Amino acid sequence: MLGLSQIRNIDRIVRRLDDLSKISLTERGVTRLSFTKESEEANRLVSHWMEEAGMIVRRDALNNVVGRYEGTQEEAPVLLIGSHLDTVVEAGKYDGILGVILGIEAVQILHENGICPKHPIEVIGFCDEEGTRFHTTLLGSRAIAGNFLQKDLEAVDKDGVTLAKAMREIGMDPTLYRLAARDPNSILGYLELHIEQGPVLEKKNQSCSAVSGIAGQSRLEFRVEGAAGHAGTVPVAMRQDALVGTAEMIQAVERIALQYESLVATVGKLKVYPGASNVIPGLVEGAMDLRSIDDTTREVALKRIQEECQQIANRRKLTCEFQLVFESPAVHCSSHFIGIIESVLEEHHMDPLRLVSGAGHDAMAIAKIVDTGMIFVRCKEGLSHHPDEFASQEDIEVGLSVLLNTILKIIA
Ligand SMILES: [Zn+2]
């Protein structure tokens, strides 16, 4: 195992995190949308660091930055390491970026110590994971996995600019997107290090964990209809108050969610009509999000929630309709890679903890074609997508050591 004392170069990592965070559209937080002048500047900087780390750098047909560190065995399949360089609006400086910078750092340590593994390594800075600009997801990693669709080019941003046009504006030919797809046979596997974006590692007082997989998701819109009326004249017992009915339904969602260990369920959006202090709510529209690493659990719980909401609606003489607007199955990390990461955690005197990711990652797209492993690094209060997002230098150092030693075990 390469010990922490041999790999300590935290100053370089901190400097790179700071330098990249300065490339932002907004003063507050980090805002770096894809196919913009900020993303181009970030790509140039990351390319420069990759070259410093001994890699040959190219941009693929979807503007993913790819740095390659050659191995000793010709034709050996490549180990991919990556995460994303785009952000949400007013994001923090760790989400996505930390995985790219520590990937580069891991290779730079090999390079500076004259270590040349059997297999080549490629570090990838994906162009668009968050999908903030075009309301898409995983554009860069889906292109590499061969799952980018022609119709993705027609996605538009808030100014009506299509993805195809945005690509042309930075000198790219969008019709060539298929060239970004990689042959799965040429890839050994994919590793991604990412901040946890949740509070579990902080609660367990541990720097890092393995990731068992990425939760599947159902997103629904719902509509509860009753009867509006005068807030002063209609007795409470005679009302068909859509909001009171919805409140009872939300309680049922929470109660059902608590019965499944792997399930999270959230009602995060409500619109109340007509929305006046002196009118009984006649209509509520809302949105609900369900996630679980176990697809059957998610499906069973969703069915129970819908049935229970229907019973509540019937009892209160309301109508209740659900519409499924998005669904994605759970993605499981490779048990082989999970085992390796867990053994590395133990070597670092940590529990072999494996967490479920409730958030999406580029690993979701790449796991469709090759074995995938993920490492989580603790972040303060589980906060992400926020300027106050924070990971400590100590945790970043441990994360780097876990990543590097995992790489060495996979490709030694
Ligand atoms: Zn991310």
Lowest mean pLDDT among 132-141, 289-298, 334-343: 132-141
DSSP string spanning 205-271? T-SEEEEEEE-EEEEEEEEEE---EETTTS-GGG---HHHHHHHHHHHHHHHHHT-TT-EEEEEEEE
| Parallel, antiparallel or unpaired: strands 121-126 and 283-292 | unpaired
> What is the distance in A from the centroid of ligand 1 to the CA of 35?
17
Together in a domain, 194 and 82:
yes
pLDDT band, residue 155 (cuts 50/70/90): very high
Domain limits for position 111:
4-214+331-411
CATH code (residue 374): 3.40.630.10
* Ligand 1 center–CA 11 separation, angstroms: 23
**Cα of 256 to ligand 1 centre, how many Å?**
29
If you measure from the C-alpha of residue 96 to the centroid of ligand 1, how many angstroms do you get, rounded to a whole number?
4
Q: Does residue 114 contact residue 101 with C-beta atoms inside 8 Å?
A: no
Instruction: Look at residue 47 and tell me whether its pLDDT is greater than 60.
Output: yes
* 205 and 222 part of one domain: no
Q: How many angstroms does the Cα of residue 88 sit away from the middle of ligand 1? A: 9
- Please identify, among 296, 328, 360, the residue that sits at the C-terminal boundary of a domain: 328
pLDDT band at 62 (very low <50, low <70, confident <90, very high): very high
Residues 120, 251, single domain; the answer is no
- 374 and 363 in contact (C-beta within 8 Å)? yes
Within this chain, do residues 240 and 369 fall inside the same structural domain, yes or no? no
pLDDT tens by residue, 267-303: 999 999 999 999 999 999 999 999 999 999 999 999 9
Ligand 1 centroid to 132 CA: how many Å?
12
Q: 15 and 96: one domain?
A: yes
C-alpha 130 to ligand 1 mean position (Å): 7
Ligand 1 center–CA 95 separation, angstroms? 5
In which element (H, E) is residue 66 found?
strand 65-69
Average pLDDT over residues 170-183: 97
Residue type, 389: E
Into how many domains does the chain fold?
A: 2
Q: DSSP string of 39-62?
A: HHHHHHHHHHHHHHTT-EEEE-TT
pLDDT tens, position by position, 82-104: 999 999 999 999 999 999 999 99
Query: How many percent of the chain have pLDDT more than 90?
Result: 95
Q: What is the pLDDT confidence band of residue 3, given thresholds at 50, 70 and 90?
A: low
Q: Domain boundary at 304, 328, 352, which?
A: 328
User: 175 φ, ψ to 5°?
Assistant: -70, -10
* CA distance linking residue 2 with residue 268, whole number of Å: 45
Tell me: do 203 and 78 sit in the same domain.
Answer: yes
**How many CB atoms lie under 10 A from the CB of residue 395?**
22
Boundary (domain end) residue, out of 270, 293, 328: 328
The CA 248 to ligand 1 mean position distance, Å, reads 34
Q: Can you tell me whether residue 348 is helix, strand or coil?
A: coil
Cβ proximity of 89 and 28 under 8 Å = no
Distance 60 CA to ligand 1 centre (A): 20
Distance 194 CA to ligand 1 centre (A): 7
- Residue 29 sits in the same domain as residue 120: yes
Tell me the CA–centroid distance for residue 54 and ligand 1, in Å. 26
Is 240 found in the same domain as 200? Answer: no
Asked if residue 179 and residue 124 are part of one domain, the reply reads yes
Residues contacting residue 296 through CB under 8 Å, at least 6 positions apart = none
| Cα–Cα distance, 402 to 399 (Å, whole number) | 5
Ligand 1 geometric centre to CA of 166 (Å): 22
- How far CA 219 is from CA of 151, 222, 288, 324, in Å, comes to 22, 10, 6, 6
Q: What's the pLDDT band for 9 if we cut at 50, 70, 90? A: confident
Ligand 1 centroid distance, CA of 126 (Å) = 10
pLDDT surpasses 60 at 118: yes
Distance in Å, CA 364 to ligand 1 centroid: 11
